Chains A and B, each alone.
Chain A
Amino acid sequence: MKKVRGHGYVRASLLAVALFGAALSSACGKDKPAAPAETPIAPVPVSQIPGHEQIGEDTALKESPRLVPQEAYMRTYLQLFGGLAPADVQKRIKLGSATLFDTWNDYLSALGLPDYRLDLPRAAQTSSLMLATFERLGVALCDKAVERDLRAGAGAAANRPVFAFDLPSVEPDLAAFTTRFDSLHRTFLGYPAALAGTSRTARFYTLYTNAVAAHAAPGAAKSAFTASEAGWASVCYGLVRHPEFHLY
């Protein structure tokens, strides 16, 4: 008896729900208003969105910077020289400047590459001699890049491996320098100069202006570079020898 009455309650409830749903559906269908015209949302910088004033990104290194395997920056040097083979790079550097470079083999040991014939292991830390070798290689690379990229007949700026810009007609102010420096910074260090945590752009601008002034001064040492070229070469030296170029 109880069981029959229970079934009757369930059946009655389901019926009531079904009728209410049908009535609601019918009412909505009849009185549906026209969709309002969508208002475009104006884009705003992320920092203006409430709660996004600061991006919660932890940029701290999670372990001590390490020396990049020597093969990595050797390959980078070759790439920056225009993607040539090592012997061709050697030939190109020595062309017209016999004392700028010796042979790659002369530097391998000082760069910390292992020598399995002598049982010398790979260097895991930098040393003063390694830094001296970075300077020797970096100077050769940059000097030849200035000659190739910044002189007449260098071709379209965008296609140049290192200096992907033309020299300004007058000495650049900080703003003009920043654009060009940013291009070099991305080439050598792989990210925009504005993101460098240090006062890097200002520091390099000072380096540039000092080098230009030194080379333009009366009685300055004879150089194959103009003052402006010497300035950009100095910037290039600074980037190719930068701690962030060799450590990561």
Chain B
Amino acid sequence: MTRTDRRTFLKVLGSGMLAATATSMPVFRALAQAPPTGDEFFILIHAAGGWDVTLSLDPRNERKGIVDPASTDNTDTSNLRRWVDVPLDADTQSFALVRPAGSNLVFGPAIGDMGDMADRMTLFNGLAMNTVSHPDGTAFAVSGRHLAGGHPAASSVDAMLANEYGTSQLFPVVSVQYPSSFVGSGLDPRAVPLRVGSIDNIAKSLLRSAQYDTKADRDAVTVMLAEEARELAARSYFPETMNGMALQLGSLRRLLDDSLSSLFSASALAAAQPTLGPKDASGKPRKYQGAAATNAAFAVEAMKRNIVRCVSFTFGGFDTHNGNYKFQAETQQEAFDVLASLVRALDASPHPTKTGARLSDHTHILVVSDFCRTPQINLAGGRDHYPNGSAIVVSPRFKTNMVYGKTDADQLLPDDAGAFTDGVRPVSPPDLLATFVSAFGTDPRKYLRDGEVVKEVLVG
């Protein structure tokens, strides 16, 4: 019989603890995992400012409770293709609901071209936002957590997906004015969102002059700096930052290796994706979503080249508290037109790694907003912030032509959506995000403190 003495016991205990400590360090964990080889792509969109869902995703065209519907009194209908007058008052018209043929979904007139894509959409209505603050609603919508002391308390969904599936990509996530956050020490440093103000900004940083030095000169420096960073990390009590920099230096060589400058030029992107340029398909200049269209074109082109895993960007112009509310519907229509053009462009693009597959077969789009706008019109003729929300998912992993969640008829507030483990309640952003990330096999609890997977919206 073998007897373990005290010394041996302590040795085993010590080495076990050392190994456990080492492997629990984030970078060790990141490096120990096999590099993800996902073929899926993600486009995350934030409708900044809080959109009025009564015009599109959760339409209201009658006075009921506190609801003042959009009408010819408060909305400029001249450019709304789907607006059909329906009498509201003696001298005021509201709109006819848009009911796509063969669909269960009902839209408002601002739905634009997305009205023809009910069979591609999953709607979430009646999202309990529990806030009417832009920064808080934005953070809650994209990370599932309210702000803590003004700071994001969790990573945004684009950083989650980049960390999970994108670390082997040249650009795990390109974030153009999307409210991306990278929180926590458990994430791979390569998944830090590349946050830029516009796609054009990237091109300038990638240009190089050949007047003095050569690419080989610069590469030699990059390789040496990566060695320095790794050596400094090895000596450091906190090696994560230096190891992260070494990994990023490795990515830098790839970034500058490829000739990517055309990918970061708005004019080149417009040439490559004519329906996603500064003009719409009919040749009419986009008034509100021109930058978003360029970002969408970038997403398609970058995914075709397989250099990005996530692209996140914003639709702007929805914060309409006063007279500018007249154009909320047109702003939404343009946003939904861009979204429809994006889906069509993905349909028309081959998948970079799956022979015979379309890019849209493996691209997943999530559109959220800070919250929605009040059901009543204020004294300035606009609508203020309201703690309810809607979201759109366009993904082959989701059941389409369906809506999950609802609002009450009188107040447009989130109504019970279904039974969760904590009882019957409305759906909330953490549920939506948990469902979204779980659709690709990720354990939502790895990133989200709250939220439950809504299985009834998932395929299979």
Contact = CB atoms under 8 A, between A and B. Distances in A.
Interface of A: 60-66, 97, 99-100, 102, 106-107, 109-110, 112, 115, 118-121, 123, 125-129, 131-133, 135-136, 139, 143, 146, 197-200, 203-204, 206-207, 210-211, 214, 221, 223-225, 230, 233-234, 237-238, 241-244, 247
The residue among B177, B220, B221 with the most chain A CB atoms within 10 A of its own CB is B221
Contact of B232 (A100, A112, A244): A244
Contacts of B193: 127
Contacts of A198: 228, 231-232, 235
Contacts of A110: 196, 201-202, 204-205
A106 B202 CA distance: 9
B213 A132 contact: no
Given A136-B205, A197-B235, A238-B225, A109 B218 contact: no
Given A131-B248, A198-B228, A109 B197 contact: yes
Contacts of A230: 212-213, 217
B244 interface: yes
Given A136-B205, A233-B212, A234-B220, A247 B227 contact: no
A132 B171 CA distance: 13
B240 interface: yes
B427 interface: no
B197 A125 contact: no
A126 B211 contact: no
B106 interface: no
Interface of B: 170-171, 177, 182, 189-190, 192-198, 201-202, 204-214, 216-218, 220-222, 224-225, 227-229, 231-232, 235-238, 240-242, 244-245, 248-249, 251-252, 255-256
Contacts of A210: 220
A128 B204 CA distance: 14
Contact of B194 (A60, A129, A221): A129
Given A125-B189, A242-B228, A100 B209 contact: yes
Contacts of A125: 182, 189, 192, 244
A100 B228 contact: no
A241 B182 CA distance: 24
B229 A136 contact: no
The residue among A62, A66, A110, A139 with the most chain B CB atoms within 10 A of its own CB is A110
Given A126-B248, A211-B217, A233-B213, 12 more contacts: A65-B236, A110-B202, A127-B193, A128-B194, A128-B248, A143-B211, A203-B227, A214-B217, A223-B213, A233-B217, A241-B225, A242-B225
B255 A129 contact: yes
B205 A207 contact: no
B214 A128 contact: no
A99 B244 CA distance: 30
Across the A-B interface, give the 6 residue pairs with the lowest CB-CB distance, nearest first: A64-B238, A106-B204, A99-B209, A128-B251, A133-B205, A198-B231
A102 B225 CA distance: 25
Contacts of B237: 60-62
Contact of B214 (A129, A199, A214): A214
Contacts of A234: 213, 217, 220-221
A129 B221 contact: no
A207 B212 contact: no
Contacts of B213: 139, 143, 223, 225, 230, 233-234, 237
A123 B248 CA distance: 15
